[in-house]
Structure 1
Amino acid sequence: MFVLRAAPLGALCVLLVVSAMGQPATAGTSSLPVPPPALQAAIRDLWGKNPQIQAAEANLRAAHERARAAAQPVYNPSLQLDGENADVDRRTAGASLTLDVFGKRKARATQGDAEVRAQEAAFVVERRDVAHDWLKAWSGVALTREQIALGQRRLELMRRFDTLAGQRLKVGDISSTERDLAGLALGEAQIQQASLDAQQAEALAALAALGGEVEGALPDLPQDLPPLAATIVPALAADRPELRQAQAEQERADAAVTVADRNRRPDPTISLTGGQVRSGPRTDRVVGVSVSMPIPLRNSGRYDVSAARADADAAYASRRATELRSNARIKQAQSTYAAMRAASEGFRQGRAGAFDERAALLDKLWQAGEISTSDYLIQLKQSLDTALSGIALESQTWQAWFDYLAAAGRLTEWVDGNSKEASP
């Protein structure tokens, strides 16, 4: 660390607060549930095909090669052959080598190793982010699929209602205005169903953009809700991929300062020359040794070192910012998920989702003449909107669960079906 760095103090605010939520767990063992095998297979297939992951893998290979290159000797030897025909004939051969006396090779190797660690963390982050994006897109597809099924039920009810309204108009049980309401309701249901089909196409396109399989049968959302947030222990800060990457970037920047400092120090070059010199009838053997060293007068390299130190300070600040964002993201994601899960659980325990029962009851009341056509449509629409909202709420709960796993550094672990122990 090359300048005085002070970490800011402050408190992070929780964005959503629910009374049922406890404090985030910081110690103990978390047991992650096992995702459906079809879901695991789909994500693993995605990891093998996604171009972003392929690019991250190529970057990692390049970092390994650069690290190998940095670990090689800094200087190569030079060979020199001289010959001269004059009053004195000279034939000499020489070799020279610049010596790395200030540890340039070691400094560059340290920098290369830090870059490898940064690229390894970047690869893990990319796999996590791609899986996270795919899971959220998949839950969107599952949502539209359930909404389309419910919308199809609505279409069937509206068609039947429209037919019955036409029959009742003929016998004078309802007015022509009420008959028109039935026709308008059917038209609106058809428009809404087309909108749901468009939403499904958009969700499938989001999956296809990630490179995963969309033609096969995608698994449905699990029937049970995800576990409580308090049962999942977030990974330690040092184990979170984005923080590991930021730490490695800081170490690489610190190593770059050492590299710049070593580069500004000139290394000596040792030369050895041997041969023979002939002057008339006399021939002499000659051996020479010389040492040369550049003099850093015009360019001392100090500005390169200053720039590297500034980069190191920026990398340190970036790591601190990443740590603060990561901690805040965990709290926000946990609060959001706890709120969504509590709402979904409450919705399941109530009668708000019993759409078919209410639809059948409303149909009986309307046919019995106990409610008007407008009342029937208003209540049916309210029941349908509530059922659709319940489906959307469960999908949002699963998306919030994926957000929390990603923020806690446990998403890839969940996909792999593994669990780890986390302790402070």
Structure 2
Amino acid sequence: MFPMRAAPFGAVCVFLVASVAASPSPPPVKAAVEALWRDNPQVQAAEANLRAAHERASGAAQPFYNPSLQLEGENADVDRRTAGASLALDVTGKRKARIAESDADVRARTAELALARRDITLDWLKGWTGVALAHDQAALGRRRVELMQAFDALAAQRLKTGDISSPERDLAALALGEALVQQASLDTQEADARAALAITGTANAPNAANAANAQIVTTDLPPAATTIIPLSADERPDLLLARAAQDRADAAVTVADRARRPDPTISVTGGQVRSGPRTDRVIGVSVSMPLPVRDSGRYSVSAARAEADAAYASTRAAALRTDAQLVRAQATYTALRTASETFGKGRAGAFDERARLLEKLWQASEITTSDYLLQLKQSLDTAVSGIALQNQAWQAWFDYLAAAGRLPAWIDGTDKDTSP
């Protein structure tokens, strides 16, 4: 006997998602994701941009104009010594417009950070499911090699007793050689998957070993899509970013309009003037106003309005896109989950039973060696397809969480908005 056991799906992947049916993610996932955020350059860049936006907002809240100090001295027929100060008055609301623009920029940068964290987390989780797929396929390949080695040894014994012919013995040897070649390819694919995942930075990520120690290795599928209530479109990060960008563009129109409007400057001068033996104190007040006759600034306003129109169109496109992504992600996940669930319940998943039955039939010479190898190959291909199908269901689940706006809440373990 050399039965083939069915490979458990995704020890690594399941370690990440074992508790997903209850909605909150396992604590190791949250810790690993937080470590990933700290080390990922995209997230670091988004965090730096947000800090810069906060600093710009603090600067925008400061008074728009600074005062000017002027000192004058003159030695001639009349000696003059004066000091003056001037200050432009923000009567057109430049500071208020700048504050509105910077606040919108802070909201946009906050949404960008949320998107960066969501995207890198999604790539990371899907990367681990890819590693899990490669790992399980390689494990199944190793079982195939063991099976072919036992079959090759048994074929050699049966050749000596005259139960099979020499060509059938050669067929068993060729099957073993093919299995070894395919196993080398599967091992390479697993190494490539791990190398690709390492690029995102997963030094503290869980692995198959500690998953087994935690006794949470399972082949359960994620919950049905109906257990998750998607966030409203206005609450999803994609649309939050688009609306914040639109608000920023609208505020930029006001900033450009206020910039073209001149503000008055008030100057106060005081000092003394000496002419011969006489010395007089002087005080002067003046008001000046720039004249926007050569550059009225209207082109800057027109350009800002065009950019605001583009931002508005982008917001509408983002709303359509986020709704379409949600519908597609939900439909894809439901289809893959249903197919995987059906596969697991059907006869297609009875790998052990089929392998034992095929062996008995071959031992009893009821099927030829070529038929045995052909049917065994079909069984192995079916097993690989089942692993790939379940892996695709998990990846579709992550896509659905992201499209529904629930992935960050699942990572934090705070997603309680599940339907009854």
Normalised to the residue count of structure 2, the TM-score between the two structures is 0.90
Q: CA deviation at 1:379?
A: 0.3
More moved, 46-55 vs 208-217? 208-217
More moved, 363-372 vs 168-177? 168-177
Partner residue, 1:49: 39
The reply on whether 1:248 has 2:238 as its aligned counterpart is no
Partner residue, 1:159: 149
Partner residue, 1:332: 328
Distance in 1, Cα, partners of 2:375 & 2:418: 51
Do 1:347 and 1:353's aligned partners in 2 also have CA atoms closer than 8 Å? Answer: yes
More moved, 267-276 vs 187-196? 187-196
Q: CA deviation at 1:134?
A: 0.6
Amino acid at match of 1:407: A
Do 1:88 and 1:279's aligned partners in 2 also have CA atoms closer than 8 Å? Answer: yes
Distance in 1, Cα, partners of 2:318 & 2:206: 38
Do 2:225 and 2:334's aligned partners in 1 also have CA atoms closer than 8 Å? Answer: yes
Pair 1:422–1:312, CA change in 2 (3 A):
farther
Amino acid at match of 2:369: T
Q: CA deviation at 1:214?
A: 6.6
Q: CA deviation at 1:420?
A: 4.5
- 1:321-373 Cα shifts (integer Å, max 9, x gaps): 01100000000000000000100110111121221221121112112111100
Alignment of 1:7-26 (within 5 A): none
Partner residue, 1:114: 104
- 1:73-112 Cα shifts (integer Å, max 9, x gaps): 1111000000000000000000001111100001001100
Match of 1:194 among 169, 184, 198: 184
Distance in 2, Cα, partners of 1:155 & 1:421: 47
Q: CA deviation at 1:48?
A: 2.2
Distance in 1, Cα, partners of 2:349 & 2:62: 68
Pair 1:32–1:123, CA change in 2 (3 A):
farther
Q: CA deviation at 1:217?
A: 2.3
Partner residue, 2:365: 369
Alignment of 1:274-313 (within 5 A): 274-313=270-309
Normalised to the residue count of structure 1, the TM-score between the two structures is 0.90
- 1:305-332 Cα shifts (integer Å, max 9, x gaps): 0000000000010011011000000000
Partner residue, 1:9: none
Partner residue, 1:394: 390
Alignment of 1:145-156 (within 5 A): 145-156=135-146
Partner residue, 2:254: 258
Do 1:51 and 1:211's aligned partners in 2 also have CA atoms closer than 8 Å? Answer: no
Gaps of 5+ in 2: 1-20
Do 1:135 and 1:402's aligned partners in 2 also have CA atoms closer than 8 Å? Answer: yes
For the residue of structure 2 that corresponds to 1:266, the secondary structure is: coil
Do 2:127 and 2:197's aligned partners in 1 also have CA atoms closer than 8 Å? Answer: yes
For the residue of structure 1 that corresponds to 2:262, the secondary structure is: coil
The reply on whether 1:404 has 2:394 as its aligned counterpart is no
More moved, 413-422 vs 121-130? 413-422
For the residue of structure 1 that corresponds to 2:82, the secondary structure is: strand
More moved, 89-98 vs 142-151? 142-151
Amino acid at match of 2:273: V
More moved, 383-392 vs 198-207? 198-207
More helix by share: 2
RMSD of equivalent CA atoms: 1.6
More moved, 44-53 vs 386-395? 44-53
Pair 1:357–1:308, CA change in 2 (3 A):
same
Do 1:89 and 1:277's aligned partners in 2 also have CA atoms closer than 8 Å? Answer: yes
Do 2:28 and 2:206's aligned partners in 1 also have CA atoms closer than 8 Å? Answer: no
Q: CA deviation at 1:251?
A: 0.2
Partner residue, 2:12: none
Partner residue, 1:88: 78
Do 1:91 and 1:276's aligned partners in 2 also have CA atoms closer than 8 Å? Answer: yes
Q: CA deviation at 1:193?
A: 1.2
Identity of aligned residues (%): 69
- 1:261-295 Cα shifts (integer Å, max 9, x gaps): 00000111111000000011111111111111111
Distance in 2, Cα, partners of 1:62 & 1:222: 45
Pair 1:227–1:375, CA change in 2 (3 A):
same
Distance in 1, Cα, partners of 2:207 & 2:22: 25
Do 1:169 and 1:176's aligned partners in 2 also have CA atoms closer than 8 Å? Answer: yes
Distance in 1, Cα, partners of 2:193 & 2:392: 14
Distance in 1, Cα, partners of 2:176 & 2:141: 12
Alignment of 1:67-86 (within 5 A): 67-86=57-76
Q: CA deviation at 1:40?
A: 2.9
Gaps of 5+ in 1: 1-30
